[in-house]
Structure 1
Amino acid sequence: MSTSVHQPQPQPQPQPQSAAAPHVLDNPAWAALTGPHSRFAERVGRAARYPTDVSPFTALADAADPRAWDDLAALVGPDAITPVTGTPLPPPDGWQTVETGQGVQLVDTTLRAEPDPEAIPLGPSDVPEILDLIARTKPGPFLPRTIELGTYLGIRRDGRLIAMAGERLRPPGWTEISAVCTDPGYRGQGLATRLVRAVASGIRERGDTPFLHASAANTGAIRLYESIGFTLRRRSTFLLIRTPGSRAATFSSPAATEKHEGN
């Protein structure tokens, strides 16, 4: 009589868990420039930017990749000042950090989006008035062709532009609300809230979700956005950096050591 011997079966080995894929909003400028805003992109390999009369945004595919920084240097040139978003990492050796800023990113969770009967579309012919309002209210950078990035709405009183808001970055599935500002003489009337809701209405109509950025120091604006239905998603760091100069610029030119006065 034979006796069979039970052979233990090999146990399945646990598979290493892959890191979660980064969220598209972790690097929104790169996602926009390689997605819905690709028509604007000036790109070298792993670095991209908007034309300098459209937006100051510059982005890296992966700030942990030294090749991306090399591509950025090739894109913007030696000894150049450029902002970089979407990275908490310091630049590599040879680069100079000119200025840092802390911001917050908020996403629409319960916003009541609705058109506003007083909000009118703004176009290229309105840019001089827009730039004047931006200069007086300082909501953030707005350049002569920024208006091409998306829909901008304004409110006029007696023919004068007194408040506005519009669309900036467009990563896939999302649209940033930006340039939210009101003439100081008309604040306290809820115009910014009305315009944010009106811009958000158009964003949702095409299937995107609104989001926005604000300076971490602008606690009043953050409280307002949270009160109307935005939720803090993450904190972010913005860098203003100087690219490495040429050997001649580094060792011979006084401009190589000149301190940049930030925007």
Structure 2
Amino acid sequence: MHPLDNPAWASLTGPHAHFAERRGNALRYPVEVSPFVALPADPEPADWEDMAALAGPGGLVPFAAFAATPPEGWEVVDSVEGVQLSGEDVMGAPDPEAVILGPGDVPDMLDLVERARPGPFAIRTFEMGTYLGIRRDGVLVAMAGERLHPPGWTEVSAVCTDEAFRGQGLGSRLVLAVAAGIRDRGEIPFLHAAAFNTTAIRLYQALGFRLRRQAMFPAVRVPADVPVA
């Protein structure tokens, strides 16, 4: 199986194994890092039982680019249709205005995420990889960074720009800057985007990313009465 076919599993059993909270074949990131959970491809009933034990009765388990059917009684709370784009042809380019964001920047990062809504981002998400930002008059107005990390690949994520600064190409510049760092490690960048976000998809394709596959992002709730050993 290709690492991008089950990217959260490949990450949590590979370069991000140090983050993994595990019960049998069920894995997840700490919630302050990422909401995503992971199961092997074609999970067995015992794997779903492990996930129930890991998440707890009534727990919400969001999957990344994963389409397995949950057992009877598990509620699919949400399911976002997305696309996965790979960057074999994207070399990237450093950006002189981009700065590395770290622990001291987390309040500003969370504030930008609240304004721009790029997707899940928590207080320790920046630990998943390198995050770059652009500031104007001291204010963080654009950001992008690294999220899932299957072997040989790194996801570019949290691409966002303050509404007042859109249309200046800041997002494109940061995507290429993050991609350049990924390439410097000998890895290949990839992306996910919501299928309805055609503007972002066109932008990523213009930067050289290619559509690899359709991808679902389901959030499933463990039954409240599930028996947990």
TM range (shorter): over 0.9
Counterpart of 2:179 in 1: which secondary structure? helix
2:75 partner amino acid: Q
Residue number in structure 2 paired with 1:78? 57
CA distance in 2 between partners of 1:232 and 1:196 (Å): 16
Residue number in structure 2 paired with 1:67? 46
Answer whether contact 1:84 1:239 (CA < 8 A) is retained: yes
Answer whether contact 1:63 1:87 (CA < 8 A) is retained: no
Counterpart of 1:78 in 2: which secondary structure? coil
The question of 1:97 aligning with 2:76 is answered yes
Residue number in structure 2 paired with 1:229? 208
Instruction: Specify which structure has the bigger relative contact order, considering alpha-carbon pairs within 8 angstroms and separated by 6 or more residues.
Output: 2
User: Which runs of no fewer than 5 residues in structure 2 stay unpaired?
Assistant: none
Answer whether contact 1:105 1:232 (CA < 8 A) is retained: yes
CA distance in 2 between partners of 1:167 and 1:221 (Å): 17
The question of 1:141 aligning with 2:120 is answered yes
Residue number in structure 1 paired with 2:30? 51
Answer whether contact 2:91 2:183 (CA < 8 A) is retained: no
What do the CA deviations read for 1:37-96 (whole angstroms, capped 9, x no partner)? 000000111110000100001010124422211110011111112212343232111211
Answer whether contact 1:130 1:161 (CA < 8 A) is retained: yes
Aligned-residue Cα RMSD (Å) equals: 1.3
Answer whether contact 1:110 1:228 (CA < 8 A) is retained: no
2:134 partner amino acid: I
Answer whether contact 2:116 2:163 (CA < 8 A) is retained: yes
CA distance in 2 between partners of 1:201 and 1:89 (Å): 33
1:173 partner amino acid: G
Under a length normalisation based on structure 1, what TM-score does the superposition of the two structures give? 0.84
Residue number in structure 1 paired with 2:195? 216
Deviation at 1:112, TM superposition (A): 4.2
CA distance in 2 between partners of 1:201 and 1:42 (Å): 30
Superposition map of 1:1-263 within 5 A: 22-246=1-225
User: Which runs of no fewer than 5 residues in structure 1 stay unpaired?
Assistant: 1-21, 249-263
Under a length normalisation based on structure 2, what TM-score does the superposition of the two structures give? 0.96
Inter-CA distance 191–222: structure 2 relative to 1 (3 Å threshold): same
2:211 partner amino acid: L
Answer whether contact 1:113 1:201 (CA < 8 A) is retained: yes
Highest CA radius of gyration, 1 or 2?
A: 1
Deviation at 1:247, TM superposition (A): 6.6
Counterpart of 1:233 in 2: which secondary structure? strand
2:33 partner amino acid: V
- The size of the alignment, in residue pairs, is 227
% same residue: 59
